[in-house]
A = this chain, B = another copy of it.
Amino acid sequence: MLTRRSFFARSGLGLMAAAGMPSMFASAVSAQDATAAGQTPSKAPFKLGFAGFTFCKFKLDETLKMIKSVDVHYLCIKDFHLPLNSTPEQIAAFHEKCKSFGVTGYGVGPIYMNSADEAKRAFEYAKKCGVKVLVGVPCEDGTVNGKKKRVASRKLLETVDGLVKEYGDIRYAIHNHGPDMPELFPTGDSAIEMIKDLDKRIGLCLDIGHQFRFGADPVKAITDYKDRLFDLHLKNVSENTRKGGAMPLPRGKIDLVAVVKALCAVNYTGCCSLEYERDMADPMLGIAESIGYFRGLMDSVR
């Protein structure tokens, strides 16, 4: 407890007392007795992070500096920052560098995988990286409207089913792509439809922006697929159609307050990782506004 003397010294009122200042400050002094509460930690069960793709135009050092500048501590690692064929030494050096910026690489991906070999390699990479979430896009060569395309692959998911059993504690999260890629998991729903009879360690990295651009409701997906929700790409978009473009989080049409409430309701304990795809060569202003906004939503959970 402060003594009267130390309080005066601390508050600068000693000067006033010396100057014989009048009683106008009496109530200011009594206000000192009020509890200056300080910020209460968020009760949101999930973490705030970044999808590595946000920084596709930046090297690792620049990326980590940018992440630190907005006081974020989790990153889903993209292969342009840590190649799939990295040695254990390179991986250790990567993690060491992340740590020096206060950042933890919590997952890897999205990784496109087009064969059983590529799927195996991705799991091995995730294991070597020491992460428990592998964001993947399991595909095979196909034809859409006469054009060659990578299409969603049930066959490869059956391979993945074996891999999650083999690796044990690595969860596989399918990333959805919205209306631009109807053949490659446009929505979380389309992924769930394809995995519902497979191992429960296969689930979603729900991209709420693409979900919304498809015309689907991210809140419904979070609620319906809560047991399969392993990662989340956080974004906002200008409209719920294919035309919907990336926006700073406070300015889009997705009701992120409802998203946060839904994530709390299902006790989501993973990351909400900002994938910011606007002004990608100079994104920090939008990133800062977005991170600030989501923190505001998280802090409002009490």
Contact = CB atoms under 8 A, between A and B. Distances in A.
Nearest to A10: B241
Interface stretch (A111-119, A129-137, A248-256): A248-256
Contacts of A145: 15, 18-19
B179 A11 contact: yes
Given A285-B288, A292-B288, A189 B12 contact: no
Contacts of A1: none
Contact of A36 (B12, B30, B240): B240
B284 A212 contact: no
| Interface class of chain A by DSSP | helix
A258 interface: yes
A15 B184 CA distance: 12
Nearest to A143: B19
A142 to B, nearest CB: 7
Nearest to A31: B216
A263 to B, nearest CB: 14
Contacts of A124: none
A192 interface: yes
B296 A25 contact: no
Contacts of A187: 27-28, 31
A126 to B, nearest CB: 25
A291 B250 CA distance: 10
Interface string A207-243: 0000110111101110000000000000000001110
A199 interface: no
A13 B253 CA distance: 22
Given A11-B215, A190-B25, A258 B37 contact: yes
| A-B complex: 6 closest residue pairs judged by Cβ atoms | A296-B296, A292-B292, A300-B300, A31-B216, A292-B293, A34-B217
Interface of A: 7, 10-13, 15-16, 18-19, 21-28, 30-32, 34-40, 69-71, 142-145, 151-152, 154, 179-183, 186-187, 189-190, 192-194, 211-212, 214-217, 219-221, 240-242, 248-258, 284-286, 288-300, 302
